[in-house]
Structure 1
Amino acid sequence: SWTTDLEAALADPDYPIFFDAAVTHLRPDTLMRAIAAGKHVYTEKPVAPSVAEGLQLLEAAEARGLKHGAVEDKIHLTGWRKLAALVDDGFFGEVRQFRLEFGWWVYDGHDVTCQRPSWNYKKSGGGGLIFDMHPHWRYMIEAALGPIARVVSAAWTATPERVDEQGQAYKVDVEDSTAALVQLQSGAFGTINASWATRVRRDEPLEFQIDGTRGSAIVGLHHCHIQSMAETPAVKWSANAELAVDHRSEWRPAPDVPAGTNSYRVGWEGFLAHVLTDQPFSATLRAGIRDVQLAEACHQSQRAGGWVDMPAIIGA
């Protein structure tokens, strides 16, 4: 059965789990109502507009003994599962640096229809690239490389005007492009560059490169290529001569991993097992709040300038 009556659904004991996939700015209220109704909650990201609001949700859920979870789907895709296997095998040695590049050209809607909904570019709708995508970067980076210690960030609006679904022009009042420098607790540094105003010349719209003392990997959501120390060429470079070297050919595909299933299904199956059998589940609200913490830290750095620390999430 289905209904558009939220209160009736929350009052129905046949539905013990509430899943929130609404727009971001409505999420804290709907999740809190579900928790008050005694529902286990599973939610899309970001779990809340701020760490403080996320902690309120976490405290409320745990006070009622309810299970809780957040969607962290990208690490279940083939590329990231291959990366996880490399990490487990110690392929990288000591990680020295990483970079994450993401984005594509999103048309402004004047001549070609915008490929993304207009709320993504409106503050009133909870838009902005940082809160849209940086929660993903947090769990993807930390799953592979360990905790983030601090971040310094810049953000800007590259496309100041867009056209909405009704054909009306509007001013973009959130960032659509970002750059961040990240330091891990291990001491390694990395960069995050993301934009809705860039053109793709990569194997995938997302590219994550890790460089370690024993080898490197270039990872997308679906593909992963590696170069071990033994395979690393002694590159020679001349500014005045084209060397005609195909550096892409010097990388090889990472070893295969067992076939996976839909990444959202993996998350759902894990959460359902958590609710029904108390199976451990890592992508809890606490993890989702950590996702929000990176986005919040980037905004704070953008406003104030300088580094912002990312201590462990406490509370609840």
Structure 2
Amino acid sequence: MSEKPVGIGIIGCGNISGAYLKAAPHFPILAVRACADLNLEVAQAKAAEFGVAARTIDQLLADPDIEIVVNLTTPQAHVPVGLQAIAAGKHVHSEKPLAISVAEGRKLLDAATAKGLRVGCAPDTFLGAGQQTARALIDAGRIGRPVAGTAFMMVPGHERWHPNPDFYYAKGGGPLFDMGPYYLTTLVNMLGPVARVTGTVAAAYAERRIASGPRAGQVVPVGTPTHITGTLAFASGAVVTLVMSFDIPAHRHAPIEIYGETASLSVPDPNIFGGELQISVPLPERKVEWQTETTGHAYGDGNYRIIGVADMAHAIRAGRPHRASAELAFHVLEVMEAVERSGQEGRPIEIESRCARPEPMPVEPAFGRAAA
């Protein structure tokens, strides 16, 4: 690619920032100018690890060489930090979720629109080989018209491994807002927007005990649902069952399955870029076998958790829409909020927003080397 590199600055130097900084060199369009954190020592340690500059947040926002702010703060800070970046004239790419409420998310989008700036949002795993190949199979008619599906993410609580899990159990956390964006973004990429939802919500435990790190033994109160079931009625007519839980010791469901008129598709974990796809093949006497499908797209052999930013950077230079868009993230946010509200109010809820499916990724590597 011959475009002038786009300067980016990272705000928030916690656990996920390492994955972004490790993947950044694989995309020549990106030039990491600096990283920042409320705790400057944390930023300095991350900067030293990856050979970039450490700055205060104000210094980073004032840097004219930074065009995109990559917002890797906790969910509760996504909109406040995003609004700061927009006020400073920067495009914003946020970690998921876009916001902790639809009302907050709308503020961010309105502010960006008013200044002619872009907003992007994780997850960008749907741009990887696993999910792109799944979409290509559906678009090619390999399973016929999709009529139904299932999506399961059920694990024990994050307090078992995370040293500071508090935000997972506050508003904007929980399994739906933490992991739901991966599953819902993948589903919308494959099937289009959601039209209506119903939900049921619960919390098996009132508090969680931290199991590792310097706070081991401390108790975290639970302030959000930790087991959520939902039925998603897509505008296309497909109906998908969704289960997101931090209350389950183990299970044997596939992450995502899509059921078509003529065949079924087992889709890999949407939290990774690759994975194995399987498609059902009918046999005599009403028997079925599952056939592994080759993932023919690029970016399936590693962790490319900055590819959405790279796509945004190329889109800025080319004047085209970016794929991990504000419209997609806002739609997913509205669906998540509606599932929770449906569970609390005991009624179906119509989804007001609509978003176009993002353009498919090219089969060949388009943004840089395809090995991370």
Q: Is the 8 A contact 1:42 1:71 kept in 2?
A: yes
* 1:253 alignment partner, SS class: strand
Mark the CA change 1:15 to 1:186 in structure 2 (over 3 Å): closer, same or farther.
closer
* 2:330 alignment partner, SS class: helix
* 2:152 alignment partner, SS class: strand
The answer to whether structure 1 residue 234 and structure 2 residue 286 are counterparts is yes
* 1:19 alignment partner, SS class: strand
Query: Which residue in the other structure is 2:138 paired with?
Result: 87
Query: Which residue in the other structure is 2:178 paired with?
Result: 132
More displaced 10-residue stretch of structure 1: 167-176 or 32-41: 167-176
Q: Is the 8 A contact 1:135 1:294 kept in 2?
A: no
The answer to whether structure 1 residue 266 and structure 2 residue 307 are counterparts is yes
> What TM-score, normalized to structure 1?
0.84
**1:206 to partner: Cα distance:** 5.6
Q: Is the 8 A contact 2:71 2:93 kept in 1?
A: yes
Q: Is the 8 A contact 2:312 2:323 kept in 1?
A: no
Match of 1:144 among 190, 194, 199: 190
RMSD over aligned Cα atoms = 2.3
> What TM-score, normalized to structure 2?
0.72
The structure with higher relative contact order (CA 8 Å, sep 6+) is 1
Q: How far apart in 1 are the matches of 2:285 and 2:162?
A: 41
Q: Is the 8 A contact 1:114 1:163 kept in 2?
A: no
Q: How far apart in 2 are the matches of 1:73 and 1:46?
A: 12
User: CA offsets per residue over residues 1-39 of structure 1, 9 Å max, x none?
Assistant: 533511111111121211101001111111111101101
Q: Is the 8 A contact 1:79 1:220 kept in 2?
A: yes
Query: Which residue in the other structure is 2:209 paired with?
Result: 163
**1:78 to partner: Cα distance:** 3.2
Query: Which residue in the other structure is 1:241 paired with?
Result: none
Match for 2:286: what amino acid? A
User: CA offsets per residue over residues 118-168 of structure 1, 9 Å max, x none?
Assistant: 1244326x4222221222332211111122111111111123332235131
Query: Which residue in the other structure is 2:256 paired with?
Result: 208
* 1:175 alignment partner, SS class: coil
Q: Is the 8 A contact 1:103 1:206 kept in 2?
A: no
Match of 1:103 among 123, 148, 154: 154
Q: Is the 8 A contact 1:106 1:115 kept in 2?
A: no
Query: Which residue in the other structure is 1:122 paired with?
Result: 169
* 2:54 alignment partner, SS class: coil
The answer to whether structure 1 residue 41 and structure 2 residue 92 are counterparts is yes
Match of 1:177 among 227, 241, 248: 227
More displaced 10-residue stretch of structure 1: 190-199 or 161-170: 161-170
Match for 1:12: what amino acid? D
Q: Is the 8 A contact 1:78 1:223 kept in 2?
A: no
Mark the CA change 1:233 to 1:270 in structure 2 (over 3 Å): closer, same or farther.
farther
User: CA offsets per residue over residues 232-269 of structure 1, 9 Å max, x none?
Assistant: 7526xxxxxxxxxxx7xx21101331342544243122
Match for 2:238: what amino acid? A
Match of 1:282 among 323, 329, 345: 323
Q: Is the 8 A contact 1:226 1:252 kept in 2?
A: yes
**1:75 to partner: Cα distance:** 1.2
Query: Which residue in the other structure is 1:76 paired with?
Result: 127
Unpaired runs of 5+ residues, structure 1, are 236-246
Q: How far apart in 1 are the matches of 2:142 and 2:189?
A: 15
Mark the CA change 1:92 to 1:7 in structure 2 (over 3 Å): closer, same or farther.
same
Query: Which residue in the other structure is 1:238 paired with?
Result: none
* 2:86 alignment partner, SS class: helix
Match for 1:307: what amino acid? P
Q: How far apart in 1 are the matches of 2:342 and 2:88?
A: 38
Query: Which residue in the other structure is 2:370 paired with?
Result: none
Mark the CA change 1:5 to 1:105 in structure 2 (over 3 Å): closer, same or farther.
same
Q: Is the 8 A contact 2:198 2:343 kept in 1?
A: yes
Q: How far apart in 1 are the matches of 2:284 and 2:131?
A: 22
Mark the CA change 1:115 to 1:36 in structure 2 (over 3 Å): closer, same or farther.
closer
Figure out how many residues of one structure are paired with residues of the other and give that number: 293
What fraction of aligned residue pairs are identical, expressed as a percent?
A: 27
Q: How far apart in 2 are the matches of 1:227 and 1:180?
A: 25
Q: How far apart in 2 are the matches of 1:116 and 1:78?
A: 32
